[in-house]
Amino acid sequence: MSVVEEVAATTGSAPLVDEEELARARRARIHRIAKWTLPSLVMVISILAWHLYVTLGEVPHYILPGPVRVASQMVEDWALLWPALLVTSRLTLLALAMAIIGGVALAVAFTQSKWAEMSFFPYAVILQVTPVIAIAPLLQIYVESAFVAALLCAWIVAFFPILSNTTIGLKSADHNLSDLFTIYGATRWQRLRYLAAPSALPFFLGGLKIAGGLALIGAVVAEFVIGRAGTGLGLASTLLEASYRFNFGRLYAALILISAMGVVIFALMSLISHLSLRKWHESAIRREG
Rounded mean pLDDT of 241-258? Answer: 89
Least confident of 40-49, 139-148, 166-175, 193-202: 139-148
246, part of any domain: yes
Run of H or E residues at 181: helix 175-183
Read off the DSSP letter of residue 194: I
Is 245 inside a domain boundary?
A: yes
Task: Give residue-wise pLDDT tens across range 69-102.
Answer: 899 989 999 998 999 999 999 999 999 999 999 9
Do 92 and 175 have their domain in common?
yes
CATH code (residue 225): 1.10.3720.10
Mean pLDDT of the chain: 84
Indicate the number of domains in the chain.
2
Residues 15 and 91 in one domain: no
Cα 69 from Cα 31, distance rounded (Å): 35
Q: Do 48 and 79 share a structural domain?
A: no
What's this model's pTM, rounded to 2 decimal places? Answer: 0.82
Question: Half-sphere exposure of 235 toward its Cβ, with a 13 Å CA cutoff?
Answer: 28
CA 192 to CA 173: how far, in whole Å? 10
C-alpha 96/C-alpha 269 separation (Å) is 11
Residue 13 has pLDDT above 90, yes or no: no
Residues 116 and 234 placed together within one structural domain of the fold: yes
| 113 and 154 share one domain | yes
* Residue 186 resides in a domain: yes
> Who contacts 73 (Cβ-Cβ below 8 Å, separation ≥6)?
65, 247, 249, 250, 252, 253
Q: Give Cα separations from 207 to 73, 117, 146 (angstroms).
A: 36, 19, 28
The whole-angstrom separation of Cα 220 and Cα 228 is 12
- Domain span at residue 147 reads 67-277
156 belongs to a structural domain = yes
Residue 207 lies in a domain: yes
Judge whether 68 and 83 are in contact, CB under 8 Å.
no
Do 35 and 115 fall into the same domain? no
